[in-house]
Amino acid sequence: RIELEVPTRASLRDVTEVVETTDPSHVEAVLELALKNSDALKFTLAQVAAKFGALKRYQGRERFGADRLLAALEDTPVYDEAVREVFHVDLAVDETADLLDRLRDDETNVRLETAREHTPIGTGGRSSGRELLVPENADASVIEAVKERIRNDRVRLLCLHCADWERKTKVRRVRVQPECPE
């Protein structure tokens, strides 16, 4: 089972037509165009640039300009390596081309079906994000940046016992077991 996420303006007929008319030999070129501004490529590009020494490891103090990094490194060996890595780690180019071939072949048992709603198994298999290509391995610097951002988030604590005590503070200041002072 494969789920496609498409723009809301795309009709079922449009999607079906694209799937049925896409030449399997063009899959790699189509995916490369789709990959150009994807979050997966930006994420991988930052990792590869750091490995190559073209970028300092992200420390989490400022906003990360992934779009600027993408523009700066386009048409460089670092960019080419990031594209290669996404293609070989995250995408199934040959399998997609094979699937399109099998959809065109009337003698195979592969067909295009549409579902109006998700089955429980299909819902469980969905990623939580909207991005088709989700990076699986965040390096330590990215994980640390996310932790730091969470520590700086503000939270509101309420006592459910007395219902009078309320406090707003940063996550980093909350004790492991907060207690109502009353």
Q: Is the CB of residue 129 less than 8 Å from the CB of residue 37?
A: no
Distance of alpha carbon 81 from alpha carbon 51, whole angstroms: 11
Q: What is the CA radius of gyration of the chain?
A: 23
Mean pLDDT of the chain: 78
Which pLDDT value is given to residue 81? Answer: 92
Domain span at residue 38 reads 12-137
**pLDDT for 64-98, tens place per residue?**
677 788 888 888 899 999 999 998 888 888 888 89
Q: Is residue 101 a part of any domain in this protein?
A: yes
Which pLDDT value is given to residue 7? Answer: 77
Distance of alpha carbon 162 from alpha carbon 178, whole angstroms: 14
Query: Confidence band (pLDDT; 50, 70, 90) for 122?
Result: low
Claim to verify: residue 146 and residue 57 sit in the same structural domain: no
Which has the higher per-residue pLDDT, 95 or 112?
Answer: 95
Claim to verify: residue 37 and residue 73 sit in the same structural domain: yes
Q: Is the CB of residue 129 less than 8 Å from the CB of residue 118?
A: no
User: Which two structure tokens, joined as six digits, stand for 39?
Assistant: 């979050």
Claim to verify: residue 26 and residue 116 sit in the same structural domain: yes
Claim to verify: residue 131 and residue 151 sit in the same structural domain: no
- Number of domains composing the chain: 2
Q: Is the CB of residue 157 less than 8 Å from the CB of residue 169?
A: yes
